[in-house]
Every structure is written in structure tokens, then in C-alpha cells.
């Protein structure tokens, strides 16, 4: 299918022009709706509606914004109201629009005086029944990394219940010549704003604002409700409860203050339901039920229960070998890795998840789905010395760009020892993963696990330490963030990971795009959708791979 944004924007523009003639006016001030509209966190009777008004320069007071919800067709208004916004929340607007009917499509918009927003589409959750559920699964959208062509493709989908976003909605890096993604960003004119690494509330707000000026992201938000969780880059790379790899207290201050600023901006700028009064703002795990077909549990694995990730450079130490030469102390490292205290979810969230999974099964829903941030499968790095000759390895190294050659050579050395491919994923927390698998077993379910973060496509069969199958994992690649496969030339890393790991049934480390997950009473189909380019329009979108799971007599077959 060939994609071109012109026709898509024309569709939304025509709807907006036709639907706004009778919208009541708000306060008579001059504003623009430069960041589009969005909806999120749908329920059977309500949905979050979002926009942001941009006042004229020099105008800094409060603004009254009128909102309305219309039926999918025609001009009948089914809900309306007004809300105040101002500089205290960066002029963002968030409405929990209630009184809607289950399983319905709606349109919505906003107005301030004569200024009117684009028209958005949203959908409530079905209260029951076995209507098919269509979910687009997205993650990792580095603005300098390339055009958001995948979002244009998502916006054009003919049937879509929700977009499940698994995190890395923004990135914190600056615009230095050697900053992440800037080799591409400089060529495309996609330069981060502000141009430095974001640390303060003003910084995070401006970065969110820049992302939401992207027309393809705006089109996707206007197409269907988003169900979102954050990963690490919404705060800083490789974040955990009390710090991050990309946070230096000596120059960037207290991490808790930076995290608070990041979360305030996130809640302002994202169509996510606000935390209950007194609740921990980091605890955004929550459930969504799509009729009698599926339950979606969004989990949080960064800021509420994750202890500090291990790091090979810091935690894999040397000891004196038999001949007096230093050797790596693998036993000591594996003891750290397998420490029973290593966790990234926490007991409270696991208890919540067990209850939700058990309740979904008791209701008779055939599918339980986890919206999870990082790859869950057991994935050891590939030992290429077992499959390539010495000459082939030398040829491989010659093809690796010089900037990555030393790093890649070190990784290949470590992978000969069967060490994990990624310590920031569930592989860095094996005891916590076993506790999670025990929850699956106790609830009597084998869920579909959705994963982001890796910038790669995955199909994995998840097994516990005893070899019992506990879940199936579909990992989505990035919308635009660079992949390891991009950096190492033509080396077939995905194929090497498949060969080295029993749980990895499919892996592609280069393609970019999203997953289209379709769920029916007895069938789950995951289409790994790739875009042909991140650097131009028009582009092509196609299914890189399609996987079908069949549920019959309580058992799942496939993968």
C-alpha cells in the first residue's frame, strides 16, 4: 500500500470544516491549536480528550476552552462543556468526557472564540460481545531519527480501536553534532528543541511540544484513542527508581526533581487519565477491557519497582587467572545477575496484575494482553564464532562502521560466554521474570506480551526456568529510532539471535514500523508492519511477517 499524507490530511481537514459551524465560543482571546488534538484511556462510557492552545505572544492569562463530542456521523452533539487552562499547565487541556455509549465511534473538537481545533475521532470500549479488536502497537519515536511515516500508516487504517504506545514517546538528548540520531536529524531539519539535553520542566514541556507539531503524529492521535505508558526516555536513558544512566547528579541535580518535572510534563501533554488524589504518580499500571474478547493490562517497569540495571563495563569484573593473567569473573557476575532481589515490577504491581489476569479469565475473555515496555524473552547474545569462520568474522568486522567497530568487537567477545544480549530488558532481572511467570501460572493464563524499547521486531515464545511455556511475545520495532542493525551494516543480527536462542522465533533488527494486532474470539493475528523508508514521502507499508495464534479448548497454538 502506498502512503501519501496529502490525502489523509485532506480527510481530517474536510471533517473539521464541516463539523464546527455551530460550536459555541469560549473566551474572546487569540489562540491557535498548533499541536492538534488527541484522545486516550477509553472506557465504556468515557474517554480522555486532549489539546493545547497556543496564545499570542504577550498573552499569559487563563483561557476558557469549549469542548464537544459529536456522533460519528452528522452534527448531533452528545456532550459538551468548558474548561480553563493557563501557564500553570502549559496551556494544555484535558477533559474526561463522560456519558458516552459503549463500543461507539465519536468525533470531538475544541474552540476558543473563533479559533477552532481540528476534528478528532475516538472510540469507547465495548461493554460486551465478541466484535473483533484492532490495536496498533507503537514505540520509540526519535524525532531526529526520521519521518514518522509509520504514524501516517496507522492514521490510514480502516478499522482501529486504539493505539497502544509502549514508551519512548520523546527522547531527552540534545542537538549536538554527535548526539543520538543527529546524523539523520541534521539532514532532515529535525533538530531537537530545546537544543540541549532536557532536564527542567520547561525543557520537557518544549520537547513534548515539538513532537506534537509533527503532522503524522497529529494524524494518528486524531484517528483513535492512545493507551500509553512511558519507558525510560520520557525521563532519561536506562531510568530506574532512583536514577538513570543518562543522569549525572553532579551537573544535572537531583534525579527526583528531574523525574518530577518529566512526569508533570508527561501528564500535561499526554491523553492519559490523571492519577487519583494521593496515588503515586509513577504508578500508571491500569486495565482496559474490550468487550468479551480481550483485557489489556498496561504495566509500569521503570519508576515504581525497578532496581538499578547491571552494566557489563561496571559489573563484569576481572580476577587473577591460573597463569597470573586477569580473566573475567563470570561466576561473580552471574551471582549478581541471579540475585533473588533483582526486580523491575514490585510485589504490589504483581498482586494487582494477578488479580486482573484472574478476573479476565473468570469473565471468559479468551485473550489477556500485557502492554509491557522491554523485551521479556531470554535472549543470549549470538556467538558468531560457532557459525562463521575466522575469515568470515574478519570480513564482518571490516563491514562494521569504524565508529562502532570496537564496541561490536567487545560485544561479540562477551556473547561467546552466553551472556544476555540486553541487561536493561527482563534478561537483566531473571528472578523478577520468574516471579512474573509464576503469576501467569497461578492465574491460569498464557498472555500475549507486547514489548517495545528494542527498536526491533520480535516473535518470542516465553518459557520459565523449567521450560514451561508461559506466554507469547510480540515486540514492535521503532517508529523512527535507530536500530543496532542500522549501525552494523549487513550483518544478519536477527537471524543470528534466532539461531542462538530457543525462545526467539523471529527477529528483525533493521525494519521500522508498528504491529497491527487483531483479536477475535478464537484467533489472534499479529502483523509486523514495516515502512519502506524514514527519509522521504511517499513510502510503502507492508507486512514483514504475520503470526496467527489459535485458541481452542483453553489452549493456544501457534508460534
pLDDT of 17 above 70: no
Residue that the C-alpha cell 522465533 belongs to: 505
Instruction: Report yes or no: 205 and 269 within 8 Å, Cβ to Cβ.
Output: yes
Q: How far is CA 391 from CA 385, 394, 412, 414, in A?
A: 10, 5, 15, 20
Determine the pLDDT at residue 434: 98
Q: How far apart are CA 62 and CA 188, in angstroms?
A: 36
Instruction: Report yes or no: 144 and 182 within 8 Å, Cβ to Cβ.
Output: yes
Single out the residue of 234, 232, 186 nearest to residue 211, CA to CA. Answer: 234
pLDDT of 401 above 90: no
Within 13 Å of residue 13, how many CA atoms lie on the same side as its CB?
Answer: 7
pLDDT of 21 above 90: no
Rounded average pLDDT over 249-255:
97
- SS3 (DSSP) at 474: strand
Higher pLDDT, 316 or 24: 316
DSSP conformation class of 161: S
Q: How far apart are CA 16 and CA 19, in angstroms?
A: 5
Enumerate domains of the chain plus CATH numbers: 8-124 (2.60.40.380), 312-510 (no CATH)
Single out the residue of 434, 429, 505 nearest to residue 463, CA to CA. Answer: 434
Q: Which helix (H) or strand (E) holds 260?
A: helix 255-269
Residues 273-315 have pLDDT tens digits of: 987 777 778 889 999 999 999 999 999 999 999 999 999 999 9
Q: How far apart are CA 493 and CA 279, in angstroms?
A: 43
Q: How far apart are CA 404 and CA 422, in angstroms?
A: 17
Single out the residue of 121, 123, 115 nearest to residue 52, CA to CA. Answer: 115
Residues 86-132 have pLDDT tens digits of: 999 999 999 999 999 999 999 999 999 999 999 999 999 999 999 99
Q: Locate the DSSP E strands across 372-512.
A: 448-451, 457-463, 469-475, 504-508
Rounded average pLDDT over 369-390:
88
Instruction: Report yes or no: 107 and 75 within 8 Å, Cβ to Cβ.
Output: no
Q: Locate the DSSP E strands across 380-500.
A: 448-451, 457-463, 469-475
Determine the pLDDT at residue 403: 63
Single out the residue of 154, 122, 123, 127 nearest to residue 138, CA to CA. Answer: 154
pLDDT of 11 above 50: no
Within 13 Å of residue 80, how many CA atoms lie on the same side as its CB?
Answer: 17
pLDDT classification of 387: cutoffs 50, 70, 90: low
Instruction: Report yes or no: 227 and 162 within 8 Å, Cβ to Cβ.
Output: yes
Residues 319-328 have pLDDT tens digits of: 888 887 888 9
Higher pLDDT, 402 or 201: 201
Residue that the C-alpha cell 531526529 belongs to: 144
pLDDT of 390 above 80: no
Q: Which helix (H) or strand (E) holds 393?
A: helix 390-399
Rounded average pLDDT over 441-456:
98
Instruction: List the single range of 174-178, 199-203, 318-322, 459-463 with lowest mean pLDDT.
Output: 318-322
Amino acid at each position: 500500500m502506498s502512503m501519501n499524507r496529502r490525502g489523509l490530511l485532506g480527510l481530517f481537514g474536510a471533517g473539521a470544516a464541516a463539523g464546527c459551524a455551530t460550536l459555541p465560543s469560549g473566551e474572546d482571546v487569540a489562540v491557535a491549536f498548533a499541536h492538534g488534538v488527541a484522545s486516550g484511556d477509553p472506557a465504556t462510557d468515557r474517554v480522555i480528550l486532549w489539546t493545547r492552545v497556543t496564545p499570542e505572544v504577550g498573552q499569559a492569562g487563563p483561557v476558557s476552552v469549549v469542548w464537544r463530542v459529536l456522533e460519528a456521523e452528522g452534527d448531533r452533539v452528545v456532550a459538551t462543556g468548558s474548561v480553563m487552562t493557563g501557564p500553570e499547565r502549559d496551556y494544555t487541556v484535558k477533559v474526561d468526557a463522560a456519558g458516552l455509549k459503549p463500543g461507539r465511534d465519536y468525533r470531538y473538537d475544541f474552540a476558543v472564540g473563533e479559533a477552532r481545533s481540528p476534528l478528532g475521532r475516538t472510540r469507547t470500549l465495548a461493554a460486551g460481545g465478541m466484535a473483533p479488536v484492532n490495536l496498533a502497537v507503537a514505540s520509540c519515536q526519535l524525532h531526529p531519527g526520521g519521518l514518522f511515516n509509520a504514524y501516517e500508516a496507522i492514521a490510514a487504517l480502516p478499522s482501529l480501536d486504539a493505539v497502544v504506545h509502549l514508551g519512548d514517546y520523546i527522547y531527552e538528548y540534545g542537538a549536538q553534532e554527535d548526539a543520538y540520531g543527529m546524523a539523520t536529524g541534521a539532514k532532515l531539519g529535525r533538530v531537537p528543541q530545546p537544543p540541549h539535553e532536557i532536564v527542567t520542566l520547561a525543557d520537557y514541556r518544549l520537547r513534548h511540544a515539538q513532537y506534537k507539531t509533527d503532522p503524522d503524529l497529529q494524524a494518528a492521535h486524531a484517528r483513535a484513542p492512545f493507551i500509553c505508558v512511558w519507558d525510560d526516555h520520557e525521563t532519561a536513558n536506562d531510568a530506574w527508581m532512583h536514577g538513570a544512566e543518562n543522569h549525572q547528579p553532579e551537573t544535572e541535580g537531583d534525579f527526583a526533581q528531574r523525574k518530577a518535572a518529566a512526569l508533570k510534563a508527561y501528564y500535561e501533554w499526554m491523553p492519559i487519565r490523571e492519577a487519583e488524589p494521593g496515588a503515586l504518580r509513577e504508578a500508571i499500571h491500569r486495565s482496559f477491557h474490550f468487550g468479551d474478547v480481550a483485557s489489556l493490562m498496561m504495566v509500569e517497569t521503570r519508576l515504581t519497582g525497578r532496581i538499578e540495571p547491571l552494566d557489563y563495563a561496571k559489573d563484569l569484573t576481572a580476577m587473577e587467572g591460573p597463569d597470573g593473567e586477569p580473566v573475567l569473573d563470570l561466576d561473580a557476575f552471574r551471582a549478581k545477575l541471579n540475585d533473588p532481589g533483582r526486580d523491575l515490577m514490585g510485589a504490589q504491581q504483581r498482586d494487582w496484575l494477578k488479580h486482573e489476569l484472574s478476573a479476565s479469565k473468570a469473565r471468559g475473555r479468551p485473550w489477556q494482553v500485557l502492554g509491557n515496555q522491554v523485551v521479556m524473552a531470554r535472549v543470549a547474545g549470538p556467538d558468531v564464532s560457532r557459525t562463521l569462520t575466522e575469515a568470515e568474522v574478519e570480513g564482518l568486522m571490516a563491514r562494521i562502521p569504524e565508529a562502532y567497530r570496537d564496541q561490536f568487537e567487545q560485544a561479540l567477545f562477551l556473547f561467546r560466554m552466553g551472556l544476555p544480549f540486553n541487561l536493561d530488558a527482563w534478561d537483566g532481572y531473571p528472578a523478577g521474570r520468574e516471579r512474573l511467570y509464576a503469576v501467569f501460572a497461578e492465574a491460569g493464563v498464557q498472555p500475549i506480551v507486547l514489548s517495545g524499547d528494542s527498536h526491533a521486531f520480535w516473535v518470542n515464545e516465553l518459557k520459565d526456568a523449567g521450560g514451561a511455556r508461559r506466554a507469547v511475545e510480540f515486540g514492535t520495532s521503532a517508529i523512527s529510532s535507530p536500530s543496532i542493525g542500522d549501525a552494523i551494516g549487513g550483518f544478519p543480527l536477527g537471524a543470528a539471535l534466532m539461531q542462538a536462542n530457543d525462545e526467539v522465533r523471529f527477529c528483525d533488527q533493521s525494519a521500522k514500523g508498528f504491529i497491527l494486532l487483531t483479536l477475535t474470539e478464537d484467533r489472534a493475528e499479529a502483523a509486523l508492519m514495516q515502512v519502506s523508508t524514514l527519509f522521504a514521502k511517499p513510502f510503502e507499508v507492508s507486512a514483514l511477517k504475520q503470526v496467527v495464534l489459535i485458541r481452542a479448548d483453553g489452549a493456544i497454538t501457534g508460534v
